[in-house]
């Protein structure tokens, strides 16, 4: 396990690169879903005001 | 050929796209996430270290897919820009608006992983060579596409300016691709070319291929999701959006008439 984490002495680079990629993908994936939620709520409130 | 033209015409309808795209979005998100999970686990734990780079070469399993995807997104945006300039297709403009920030994030990830890989492999994270500079330019182009739209107040001129920038900027793509062949660069040339024997060992192709496919699927899902937000924003006053809101955003969208 320690060997696996150490990555032959390159652990810092390998894990930070994978961490960065994970964060980037998560942000890319989550951002439009959050935006959709916010927008739908806003439109729903506006629609309720109209009625 | 008929169905291609048919699909193209229907794609021009924001309502048709909004109605049919949700299941594609969910499917691409799930398939993409699963592929990246399997590919990354494989690449981290189940292939031997590479002879010269040791374990840091495993970074390439997340670097190469990001780089390839960033360029593909840009080409897609440039095509959409051309479609918008020629046919004034609203959906093409919305695709640019949806994909540009995604492209920006993917390019940032590509550069960041490249820098982290360069530190142990080249001895420094950043070098000024043709490949790295042209990729940095790609980042600036994506940023430009996002910023230009915000800088112009009226939507129609903004859309035209952004589409024009998208089309003009596409000259950077062959520069990125051939930079390692035209110039003497520290960055190595491509190891995998379509239709040629790959210059990397077959054991490394599996995690790389799975991650690449996973990145493409997941990010396609995100672009669809972002496009749905753009559509809803711009069609907020349309009858079908009101109906959809009145049904508690759940009910099926009204069928769009064929033809």
Q: Phi and psi dihedrals of B18, rounded to 5?
A: -60, -40
* Token digits of residue B1: 């050929």
Query: If pLDDT is split at 50, 70 and 90, which confidence band does B259 have?
Result: very low
The answer on pLDDT for B254 being more than 70 is no
Say if residue B146's pLDDT is above 70: yes
Contact B49 A25 (CB under 8 A): no
Which one of B62, B120, B228 has the shortest CB-CB distance to A36?
Answer: B228
Where does the pLDDT of residue A2 fall: very low under 50, low under 70, confident under 90, or very high at 90 and above?
Answer: confident
% of residues, chain B, pLDDT over 90: 71
* Closest-approach residue (CA) in chain B for A38: B229
Q: Within A1-51, where are the H helices?
A: 2-6, 11-50
**Which of B35, B42, B56, B250 is best to mutate for the A interface (most A CBs within 10 A)?**
B56
CA B4 to CA B111: how far, in whole Å?
A: 36
pLDDT over 70 (residue B190): yes
In whole angstroms, how far apart are CA B253 and each of B132, B141, B224?
Answer: 46, 36, 17
d(CA A44, CA A46): 5
Residues 6+ apart with CB under 8 A from B139: B104, B107, B108, B111
Residues in A touching B59 (Cβ below 8 Å): 13-14, 17-18
Query: What residues in A contact B40, CB-CB < 8 Å?
Result: 18
**Better-scored residue on pLDDT, A11 or A21:** A21
Mean pLDDT, range B164-181, rounded to an integer: 94
Chain B residues near residue A43 by CB distance under 8 angstroms: 232, 236, 241, 245
**Per-residue pLDDT reduced to its tens digit, B210-244:** 999 999 999 999 999 999 999 999 999 999 999 99
Residues of B in contact with A41 (CB under 8 A): none
- What is the pLDDT averaged over residues B237-259? 77
Q: What is the mean pLDDT of chain A?
A: 93
Chain A closest CA to B233's CA: distance in Å? Answer: 7
Q: Which one-letter DSSP state was computed for residue B50?
A: B
Q: Where are the alpha helices (DSSP H) in B88-154?
A: 90-121, 130-151
pLDDT tens for each residue of B57-106: 999 999 999 999 999 999 999 999 999 999 999 999 999 999 999 999 99
> Which of B55, B216, B224 would you mutate first to test chain A, the one with the most A CBs within 10 A?
B55
Q: What are phi and psi of B50, to 5 degrees?
A: -80, 150
Model pTM above 0.90: yes
Q: Would you call B242 an interface residue with chain A, using a CB distance cutoff of 8 Å?
A: yes
Residue B257 has pLDDT above 60, yes or no: no
What integer pLDDT is reported at residue B248 of this predicted model? 84
What is the band of B10 on the pLDDT scale with cuts at 50, 70, 90? confident
pLDDT band at B249 (very low <50, low <70, confident <90, very high): confident
Flag whether the ipTM exceeds 0.85: yes
């Amino acid at each position: 396990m320690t060997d696996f984490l150490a990555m032959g002495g390159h652990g810092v680079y390998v894990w930070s690169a994978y961490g960065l990629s994970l964060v980037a993908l998560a942000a890319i994936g989550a951002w439009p879903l959050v935006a959709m939620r916010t927008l739908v709520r806003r439109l729903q409130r506006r629609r309720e005001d109209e009625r | 050929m008929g169905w291609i033209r048919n699909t193209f015409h229907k794609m021009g309808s924001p309502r048709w796209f909004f109605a049919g795209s949700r299941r594609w979005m969910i499917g691409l998100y799930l398939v993409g996430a699963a592929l990246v999970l399997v590919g990354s686990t494989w690449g981290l734990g189940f292939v031997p270290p590479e002879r010269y780079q040791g374990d840091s070469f495993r970074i390439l399993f997340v670097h190469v897919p990001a780089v390839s995807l960033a360029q593909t997104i840009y080409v897609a945006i440039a095509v959409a820009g051309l479609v918008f300039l020629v046919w004034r297709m609203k959906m093409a403009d919305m695709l640019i608006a949806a994909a540009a920030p995604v492209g920006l994030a993917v390019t940032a990830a590509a550069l960041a992983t490249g820098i982290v890989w360069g530190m142990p492999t080249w001895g420094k994270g950043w070098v000024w060579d043709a490949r790295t500079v042209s990729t940095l330019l790609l980042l600036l182009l994506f940023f430009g596409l996002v910023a230009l739209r915000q800088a112009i107040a009226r939507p129609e001129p903004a859309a035209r300016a952004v589409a024009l920038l998208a089309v003009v900027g596409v000259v950077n793509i062959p520069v990125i691709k051939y930079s390692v062949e035209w110039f003497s660069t520290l960055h190595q040339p491509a190891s995998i070319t379509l239709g040629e024997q790959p210059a990397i060992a077959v054991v490394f192709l599996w995690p790389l291929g799975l991650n690449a496919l996973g990145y493409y699927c997941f990010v396609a899902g995100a672009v669809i999701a972002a496009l749905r937000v753009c559509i809803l924003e711009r069609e907020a006053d349309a009858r079908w959006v009101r109906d959809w809101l009145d049904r508690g955003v759940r009910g099926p969208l009204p069928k769009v008439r064929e033809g």
